[in-house]
């Protein structure tokens, strides 16, 4: 087989460390669930009626991935840079039109993530019916900790929390997800052929807020692990 040659060196494959393994997990796509905790939906001014609505999604580029522990520059064109603490599901097997009762078969493991958001740009787009990309899919906006292998495990509960400079900001439980892990896998797989290395950010609880240069964000999900981020100066 002839090896492809490129005009310049291709970007490195986005990847994450895996607990207990030297091999890294190659990241394929990054899906994010919107408004998946009632109290957060309310604080965004958009309460969810599960009986009448379906989940919705946005995506981030895999190139937006940044490892836990990093210092990131305060991003451009925002005055309202927000944290969102999330449980991240890591897909390990392909699946399409997966039944909820079979959803566990796709699960490789979990990680703790931060869906960093330019809230002012997201809300301006939302309120004009425009795409959310500028608010959500920007450089270094998908923070993710190490992947914890938990093949076939469906997380149904566990504390999820985030602090800024040691001060608690978000405190909830994964059992408050509006659409749970099985339901998310089943629904998202109606729209996409899920693939190994796809990440699903499952949504954030209430208490989201702004950070400024110098702030240190720390978060954890019980039974999974931790994530951290330091906000640096704009550049
Ligand atoms: Mn989010």
**Per-residue pLDDT tens digits for 97-117:** 999 999 999 999 999 999 999
Structure tokens at 96: 């399409």
- Name the residue among 11, 18, 8, 39 with its Cα closest to residue 205: 39
Place of tokens 């149904």: 156
For residue 6, how far is its CA from the centre of ligand 1 (angstroms)?
Answer: 35
For residue 59, how far is its CA from the centre of ligand 1 (angstroms)?
Answer: 10
For domain 15-232, which CATH number applies: 3.30.465.10, 3.90.850.10, 3.40.50.2300, 2.60.40.10?
A: 3.90.850.10
**Distance separating the N- and C-terminal Cα atoms of the chain:** 44
- Name the residue among 133, 112, 85, 86 with its Cα closest to residue 16: 112
Length, in residues, of the chain: 235
CB 36 within 8 A of CB 166: no
> What is the structure's pLDDT at 188?
98
> What is the structure's pLDDT at 64?
98
For residue 160, how far is its CA from the centre of ligand 1 (angstroms)?
Answer: 13
> What three-state secondary structure class fits 63?
helix
pLDDT band of residue 2 (cuts 50, 70, 90) is confident
| Residue 138 in this model has a pLDDT that exceeds 80 | yes
For residue 144, how far is its CA from the centre of ligand 1 (angstroms)?
Answer: 13
Who contacts 45 (Cβ-Cβ below 8 Å, separation ≥6)? Answer: none
For residue 97, how far is its CA from the centre of ligand 1 (angstroms)?
Answer: 24
pLDDT band of residue 59 (cuts 50, 70, 90) is very high
186 φ, ψ (degrees, to nearest 5): -65, -45
- Name the residue among 105, 93, 25 with its Cα closest to residue 65: 25
Q: Using only C-alpha atoms, what is the Rg of the chain?
A: 17
Q: Across the strands, what pairs with 26? A: 15
For residues 105 and 217, give the distance between their C-alpha atoms in angstroms, rounded to a whole number: 33
For residue 32, how far is its CA from the centre of ligand 1 (angstroms)?
Answer: 6
pTM score, two decimals?
Answer: 0.97
Structure tokens at 84: 């969102």
- Ligand 1 is a single-atom ion; what residues have CB below 5 A from it? 84, 115, 204
Mean pLDDT over 30-50 rounds to 95
Mean pLDDT over 25-41 rounds to 97
């Amino acid at each position: 087989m002839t090896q492809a040659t490129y005009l310049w060196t291709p970007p490195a494959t986005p990847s994450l460390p895996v607990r207990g393994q030297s091999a890294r997990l190659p990241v394929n796509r990054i899906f994010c669930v919107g408004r998946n905790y009632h109290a957060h939906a309310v604080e965004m001014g958009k309460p969810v009626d599960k009986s009448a609505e379906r989940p919705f999604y946005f995506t981030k580029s895999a190139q937006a991935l940044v490892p836990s522990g990093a210092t990131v520059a305060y991003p451009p064109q925002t005055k309202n840079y927000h944290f969102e603490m999330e449980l991240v599901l890591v897909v390990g097997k392909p699946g399409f039109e997966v039944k909820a009762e079979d959803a566990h078969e796709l699960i490789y493991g979990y990680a703790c993530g931060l869906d960093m958001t330019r809230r002012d740009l997201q809300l301006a787009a939302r309120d004009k019916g425009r795409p959310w990309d500028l608010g959500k899919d920007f450089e270094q906006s998908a923070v993710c900790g190490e992947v914890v292998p938990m093949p076939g495990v469906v997380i149904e509960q566990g504390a999820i929390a985030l602090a800024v400079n040691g001060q608690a900001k978000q405190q909830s439980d994964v059992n408050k997800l509006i659409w749970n892990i099985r339901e998310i896998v089943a629904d998202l797989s109606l729209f996409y052929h899920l693939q190994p290395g796809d990440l699903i950010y499952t949504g954030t609880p209430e208490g989201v807020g702004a950070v400024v240069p110098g702030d240190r964000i720390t978060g954890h999900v019980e039974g999974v692990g931790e994530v951290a981020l330091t906000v640096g100066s704009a550049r």
